[in-house]
Amino acid sequence: MLDLVLPAECAGCHRAGASWCRRCDRALTRLALPSGPSMVVPDPPPRRLPDTVAWGLYDDPLRAAITAWKDEGRRDLLTVLAPLLAAAMEAACAHADWTQGPVLIVPAPSSSRSTRIRGDMPSVDLAGGAVRAHLSRRTLRLVPAVAPARAVADQAGLSATSRTANLRRAHVVASRWLPVVRDRRCLVVDDVLTTGATITECARALMQAGAMEVRGATVAISRRRTALDGR
Ligand SMILES: [Zn+2]
């Protein structure tokens, strides 16, 4: 029973002991983008992708941590992942010159297995953790305004074209959030930027709901879809 409460192995390397070992923590720092959290563009770039900042590359052990957190219920890894998203959020606000007024942090709805099976909302947990980890005095407010308008297939395993089709008009801003979103700056946050289809669709729904401006921030970007190869 205790193992359910205290993970007995590292989520990155599966060695017994700490839930996130020092070796994996050091390896994580090597996945950071070279100039810190930076603007990234998937290849091919989706039409209407909002300007999006990522913290680092989606490689192990970060990939293992995100998978364990999202699909295996390892919510203890929030302490590893939330500061990375917070750093990407900070850079996205700075890049957008959003220095005055509130910024709404909008988690991208998840199509992950655990959300479908258990009804978990890991993306809301991660966004909330990042808002709490945020150290600047900028006013951030967690607003889970975007919800699926219909059932969508899991994005994993779909091609870029299929992902875009799968998500076309798939999301909506629920009516109770409309007055909150209207004329506001919204930062859509997610764990991984793969094709950009999810953030693009969230941005469309928010702009349709009257948002002033939408940007994106993610923990990681999938390396094979970026121009960052060759690092
Ligand atoms: Zn480890």
| Distance from the alpha carbon of residue 31 to the mean position of ligand 1, in angstroms | 15
| Distance from the alpha carbon of residue 181 to the mean position of ligand 1, in angstroms | 40
Q: What is the pLDDT of residue 102?
A: 92
Q: What is the pLDDT of residue 130?
A: 94
Q: What is the pLDDT of residue 225?
A: 54
- pLDDT reading at 4 higher than 50: yes
What does pLDDT average to over the chain? Answer: 87
Please provide the CATH number assigned to the domain covering 35-225.
3.40.50
Q: Which of 48-57, 70-79, 168-177 has the highest mean pLDDT?
A: 48-57
| Distance from the alpha carbon of residue 226 to the mean position of ligand 1, in angstroms | 26
Neighbours of ion ligand 1 (CB under 5 A): 10, 12-13, 21, 24
With CA atoms as reference, report the closest residue to 125 among 80, 180, 59.
80
Q: What is the pLDDT of residue 112?
A: 56
Angle at 22 between CA 16 and CA 18, to 5 degrees: 30
CB neighbours of residue 132 within 10 Å:
12
- pLDDT reading at 166 higher than 90: no
Q: What is the pLDDT of residue 123?
A: 86
| Distance from the alpha carbon of residue 229 to the mean position of ligand 1, in angstroms | 25
- pLDDT reading at 160 higher than 80: no
What pTM value is reported for the model?
A: 0.87
| Distance from the alpha carbon of residue 17 to the mean position of ligand 1, in angstroms | 9
Where are the chain's structural domains?
Answer: 35-225
Distance CA 222, CA 41 (A): 10
| Distance from the alpha carbon of residue 82 to the mean position of ligand 1, in angstroms | 18
Distance CA 28, CA 172 (A): 35
| Distance from the alpha carbon of residue 11 to the mean position of ligand 1, in angstroms | 6
Q: What is the pLDDT of residue 159?
A: 77
Q: What is the pLDDT of residue 231?
A: 36
| Distance from the alpha carbon of residue 54 to the mean position of ligand 1, in angstroms | 23
| Distance from the alpha carbon of residue 80 to the mean position of ligand 1, in angstroms | 12
Summarised one tens digit per residue, pLDDT across range 5-38 is 555 899 999 999 889 999 999 999 999 999 999 9
CB neighbours of residue 145 within 10 Å:
25
| Distance from the alpha carbon of residue 25 to the mean position of ligand 1, in angstroms | 7
Summarised one tens digit per residue, pLDDT across range 80-105 is 999 999 999 999 999 999 988 899 99
Answer positive or negative: Cα dihedral of 212, 185, 127, 191.
positive
- pLDDT reading at 1 higher than 70: no
- pLDDT reading at 118 higher than 60: no
Question: Alpha helices, DSSP H only, in the chain?
Answer: 2-5, 22-29, 62-71, 78-96, 113-118, 122-133, 160-167, 178-181, 197-208
| Distance from the alpha carbon of residue 103 to the mean position of ligand 1, in angstroms | 35
